[in-house]
Structure 1
Amino acid sequence: MTNIPPRQLKDVGLTLPPIGQGTMGIGGYYGKDGTRDAEWITGLRRGIDLGLTLIDTAEVYGAGHSEELVGRAIKEVRDEVFIVSKFSAEHSRAAQVIAAAEGSLRRLGTDRIDLYQPHWPNPSVPFEETAEALGALVQSGKVRFVGLSNFSFPEMQKTATLLNPIPVPILQQEYNLIDRTIEEQFLTHCDATQKILLTYSPFLQGKMVPRDARKIVLDDLAKKYERTVAQVILAWLLRKERVVVIPKASTGTHVEELAAVKDLSLDVEDIQRI
């Protein structure tokens, strides 16, 4: 067995950790929750210390408060962190994209967003208009890279063409033991093009552990490797070298559990069992 290596994007000169920190629910879900700010900031900082230096957020999380907490957590270590943020589908018009980016930059307390993405496609707005704004943000240096989140495979192909010559080195999709849809096209595409697949909801928002025969397999493997079931699930997802996972970061103890997965690689026969 070997440890899980960092993910390379040689075409654009990026190296990313295999495990990042997701922030949906940190600072609230779709409304602000300021009751656990200190705990959440401590957890994010602990994750950064442990090498979970990719942090995924969005303008909609906690009505913007998630971005504020991320900004506070990274203030002293900004250059060590890769920040991903997303604008909402209803903000897909050119002026709205620019305004959304400016708002995210302000809340994050930074002068650039490393990866900026539409959170979901908006078929009512021609993507040429959205692409124009994203291009302007890249040209100004306020956005380093553009990604696409939750686009279907045909939508992604068409949209990436419209963004040309702006590269799209990272795509974001849901991926877990229950929803393996991306294995059909996205993983093959990322292998062929050397893109990174940034994957969320590895535990299906806390409902991941199945109540069927797989539960027995996962329990057996957790005992074999002396790890938690959650760690086994993440190691299985990370068997694909183009995949980065972004489980939700919460407490310091939780991010320590996540970070320890970098030292876990499953045997081939165990991957096949899952």
Structure 2
Amino acid sequence: MRYIKLRDLEVSRIGLGAMGMSHGYTGAGTDEAESIRTVHRALELGVTLIDTAEIYGPYTNEELLGRALKGHRDQVVLATKFGLIAHAGAGPWNLDSSPNNIRTSVEGSLKRLGTDHIDLYYQHRVDPDTPIEETVGVLSELVEQGKIRTIGLSEAGPETIRRAHAVHPITAVQSEYSLWTRGLEERVLPLLRELRIGLVPFSPLGRGFLTGKIRSTEGFAEDDFRHDNPRFTGENFQRNLRIADEVQTVAAEAGATPAQVALAWLLAQGDDIAPIPGTKRVSRVEENTAADAVQLTDEQLAKLAGLPPASGDTHTEAALRMLER
């Protein structure tokens, strides 16, 4: 495993997204033992960046990682997120990045994770009711107190990123970025490079679609994020299968799996990018981390870059309203 810098924070080139172990996907939360084995195997393979959030569960994913990382905390760059639970009122899935809510959130996360500090603490979604300067001001106090090491933003737009960075250096921005979600290339990615902010792509495998293993949506449970996701429904799904087939073609040429090719393409976009493919299985974390050794030719990279845009939005209408672009 190679290692890179997200600003001044050294992380493994490929991280691990833990959300699906407890939340969001069919079968989440049904095999804690395998999830813990997956975390331990990732550490053995050199993965250091592990990502969670208080909203995953809610809370159960942080609790799982707290158990999995007992005795291993010093091996991990631990990232979690706040801002999608309004602790004093409306509860989960309500934006709140007010100072008091942040202070409540960080104490809860520290306790559940079984640690005295969080290495990378993200605002999960921008709160339009709280100035970003106020939010980052409180986060900078938490840095001074040693409760968090660095500050991140998730799915923030260019103006918010610039304003936040003016208050305190932002270490990383986490956004959806993959072969079929490339909207940040025009405005966000150039700004991150101007300000020396790292990029942490989530859903780098298109929520499993780019692996080529999903040929039907019939197996999705009703609480699966993809059950009503526009890219996984109706004609959009059928059109998007052609993208997965093209990735499969390149994978056959490269002697790799489609998942490894999708990750290798991301890694080729710069040495300031650390994707966090999510999985709850040992076999998948072994497959994903091996992508670090896949070298795609210029012709293969160009073919992948030229894939048609995905059909359908990345989120439902309600979820899209929480994203900045």
TM-score normalised according to structure 2 size: 0.76
Does the 8 Å CA contact 2:133/2:163 hold for their aligned counterparts?
A: no
Q: How far apart, in 1, do the equivalents of 2:266 and 2:55 lie?
A: 26
Q: Does the alignment pair 1:231 with 2:260? A: yes
Q: Give matches, 1:1-274, under 5 Å.
A: 5-9=2-6, 12=8, 14-29=9-24, 34-89=29-84, 90-161=95-166, 164=167, 166-208=168-210, 209=212, 210-212=240-242, 214-240=243-269, 241-274=271-304
* Aligned partner letter, 2:257: T
CA offsets per residue over residues 130-183 of structure 1, 9 Å max, x none? 22321221111000000111111222112222xx2x211211111011210111
How far apart are 1:219 and its partner, in Å? 2.1
Q: How far apart, in 2, do the equivalents of 1:35 and 1:178 lie?
A: 29
Does the 8 Å CA contact 2:157/2:188 hold for their aligned counterparts?
A: no
* Aligned partner letter, 1:225: A
Q: How far apart, in 1, do the equivalents of 2:5 and 2:150 lie?
A: 15
How far apart are 1:6 and its partner, in Å? 2.2
Does the 8 Å CA contact 2:21/2:29 hold for their aligned counterparts?
A: no
CA offsets per residue over residues 216-249 of structure 1, 9 Å max, x none? 4322221222211111011011112221101102
Q: How far apart, in 1, do the equivalents of 2:135 and 2:117 lie?
A: 18
CA offsets per residue over residues 101-135 of structure 1, 9 Å max, x none? 00000000000000001100010122233223212
RMSD of the alignment, in Å?
A: 2.0
Q: How far apart, in 2, do the equivalents of 1:45 and 1:22 lie?
A: 13
* Percentage of pairs with the same residue: 37
Q: How far apart, in 2, do the equivalents of 1:190 and 1:120 lie?
A: 17
Q: How far apart, in 1, do the equivalents of 2:301 and 2:248 lie?
A: 14
- Match of 2:235? none
Does the 8 Å CA contact 2:132/2:160 hold for their aligned counterparts?
A: no
CA offsets per residue over residues 72-101 of structure 1, 9 Å max, x none? 111111111001100024331111101100
Q: How far apart, in 2, do the equivalents of 1:154 and 1:132 lie?
A: 17
How far apart are 1:42 and its partner, in Å? 0.8
Does the 8 Å CA contact 2:20/2:279 hold for their aligned counterparts?
A: no
Q: How far apart, in 2, do the equivalents of 1:133 and 1:169 lie?
A: 16
Q: How far apart, in 2, do the equivalents of 1:34 and 1:233 lie?
A: 26
Which stretch of the first structure deviates more once superposed, 130-139 or 75-84? 130-139
Q: How far apart, in 1, do the equivalents of 2:283 and 2:245 lie?
A: 25
Q: How far apart, in 2, do the equivalents of 1:125 and 1:189 lie?
A: 23
How far apart are 1:203 and its partner, in Å? 2.0
How far apart are 1:64 and its partner, in Å? 0.6
How far apart are 1:34 and its partner, in Å? 4.5
Query: Against the structure 1 CA distance between its residues 270 and 151, is the aligned structure 2 distance closer, same or farther, given a 3 Å change threshold?
Result: same
Q: How far apart, in 2, do the equivalents of 1:124 and 1:118 lie?
A: 14
Paired residues in the alignment total: 264
* Aligned partner letter, 1:150: E
